[in-house]
Amino acid sequence: MQRDPRAFLWDVREAALAIQSFTSGMEVTDYVGSELVQAAVERKFEVIGEALNQLAKLDQSLAAQIADLPQIVAFRNQLIHGYATVNPTTVWNIAQNALPDLIKAVQRLLDGLA
């Protein structure tokens, strides 16, 4: 039985909101200094990348509406497989600058599928 595409979008939204919660009130120096928060944020980025990867396999036209989907999946692969060490500042910048747009896009898709 195939999973409903909304479930993958929900996973993305919830993981992204968790990242925002984990980093709320922090500055980059706080983030870099907290191995615990870094680990939590990276794990949620892994969830986001995997959910979008699975969504792309299930519904390519829906997944195509997510900007930078291939880069998000590639980022997940970097985090998991360690192809290259990901600098904590890079993760921070992605969380602060790219995540809000991803949340909006995913919410728009969820609203359209409701």
pLDDT digits (tens, 9 = 90+) for 70-99: 999 999 999 998 766 789 999 999 999 999
Q: What confidence tens digit (pLDDT) does each residue in 32-72 have?
A: 999 999 999 999 999 999 999 999 999 999 999 999 999 99
Q: How is the chain split among helix, strand and coil, in percent rounded to 5?
A: 80, 0, 20
Distance CA 80, CA 83 (A): 8
Residue 54: its pLDDT value, please? 97
Distance between CA atoms of residues 4 and 103, nearest Å: 19
> H-type helices in the chain, by residue range?
5-23, 28-32, 35-58, 60-63, 69-81, 88-97, 99-113
* Amino acid, single-letter form, for residue 89: T
Rg (CA), the chain: 14
pTM: 0.94
